[in-house]
Chain A
Amino acid sequence: ILNVEQSPQSLHVQEGDSTNFTCSFPSSNFYALHWYRWETAKSPEALFVMTLNGDEKKKGRISATLNTKEGYSYLYIKGSQPEDSATYLCARDTDKLIFGTGTRLQVFP
């Protein structure tokens, strides 16, 4: 993998569903992996920064895991709510931060 890739591109879920998305990245020269939440008409907001293989971070109903050896990270949202609707970006940190194109999540009531 040469770039940061996120899947799926978009996701529609019902309120209460749990969901997860994937971020894949080159595993060489790895410093850190960032996750951001980006609501429409706002600026991206940092969710997690993870550095160590096996790292797990949690903030409320959102959690993330990191596998640096195989070059992937998962973001999980438990019991999705309409206010979780946003684009979720991951970014690989080397000497600069390279972003994926994001997963756009829409949660319907």
Chain B
Amino acid sequence: EAQVTQNPRYLITVTGKKLTVTCSQNMNHEYMSWYRQDPGLGLRQIYYSMNVEVTDKGDVPEGYKVSRKEKRNFPLILESPSPNQTSLYFCASSYNTATGGYTFGSGTRLTVV
């Protein structure tokens, strides 16, 4: 089944404890992206990647890192999480965003206390 798999679905962590949210797609998509969803603010892009080893900042990159060592994987790293990073996170991928929409993962609800 074609899908974007995010893990974990839910995570509660403490301030400052490094964490990684994994994202993997099995559709050979070139474009991958991370978004966060906060009430009243819509989906805001954190980082995106147009191909292996090519990543770019989105609108809210502060406090996050990403890597794209393989086409299928695009992990989101929070080196020192803070409570303002409590949010719902989505990973998404697309073959070509000008012709096909993004396929979204199931989301990761992160709480930083």
**Residue contact B43 to A46, C-beta cutoff 8 Å:** no
Q: Are A93 and B41 in contact (CB under 8 A)?
A: no
Contacts of B58 in A (CB 8 A): 96
Q: In the complex, what's the smallest C-beta–C-beta distance from B78 to chain A, in angstroms? A: 21
Give the CA-CA distance A109 to B43 in the complex, in Å.
30
Given A31-B98, A93-B98, A97-B97, decide whether A45 and B104 contact each other with a Cβ distance below 8 A.
Answer: yes
A1-60 CB contacts (< 8 Å) to partner B? 31-32, 34, 36, 43-49, 51
What is the total number of residues of chain A having a CB less than 8 Å from a CB of chain B?
Answer: 23
Q: How large is the interface on B (under 10, 10 to 19, 20 to 34, 35 or more residues)?
A: 20 to 34
Pair A46/B33 contact, Cβ less than 8 Å = no
Give Cα distance in the complex from A97 to B107, angstroms: 18
Verify A32–B104 contact, CB threshold 8 A. Answer: no
A-B interface contact total, Cβ < 8 Å:
60
B58, B98, B101: residue with the most chain A Cβ atoms closer than 10 Å: B101
Contact B107 A43 (CB under 8 A): yes
Write out the residue numbers on chain B whose beta carbons fall within 8 Å of the beta carbon of A47: 101
**Cβ–Cβ contact B104 & A44, under 8 A:** yes
Q: What 10 A-B pairs come out closest when comparing CB atoms? A: A46-B101, A101-B42, A43-B104, A99-B43, A32-B98, A99-B42, A44-B104, A93-B97, A34-B101, A49-B101
Q: Which A residues are closer than 8 A to B by beta carbons?
A: 31-32, 34, 36, 43-49, 51, 89, 91, 93, 95-102
